[in-house]
């Protein structure tokens, strides 16, 4: 989890923040195939980056396949999300 992600989580509605945190707590210890998540979309032109959709909010992630880590990089409303992610 990056510092930018922590700051961006403050922008989410309380309900969206709880839903997002519950999802990632469930998979905190890792998953065998994060690409298999039904709502994970790869970001074209940015290898290793993807986004998850939680209603009108998006969470940007980076998949470190070598170490099998998922790094949370940004969270925000759909309209502003692509202005800040990926960078």
- Residue 39 pLDDT level (bands cut at 50, 70, 90): low
What residues contact residue 56 under an 8 Å CB cut-off, 6+ apart?
16, 77, 78
Residue ranges of the domains in the chain? 3-84
CATH domain 3-84 topology: YaeB-like fold (3.30.2310)
Per-residue model confidence (pLDDT) at position 26: 76
DSSP letter assigned to residue 33: -
* Tokens at 3, concatenated: 């510092």
Higher pLDDT, 67 or 57: 57
Cα–Cα distance, 1 to 70 (Å, whole number) = 8
């Amino acid at each position: 989890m990056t510092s930018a992600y922590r700051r961006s989580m403050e922008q989410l509605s309380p309900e969206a923040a709880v839903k997002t945190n519950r999802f990632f707590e469930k998979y905190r210890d890792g998953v065998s195939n994060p690409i298999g998540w039904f709502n994970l979309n790869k970001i074209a032109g940015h290898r290793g980056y993807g986004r998850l959709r939680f209603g009108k909010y998006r969470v940007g992630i980076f998949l470190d396949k070598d170490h099998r880590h998922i790094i949370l990089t940004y969270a925000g409303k759909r309209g502003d999300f692509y202005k800040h992610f990926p960078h």
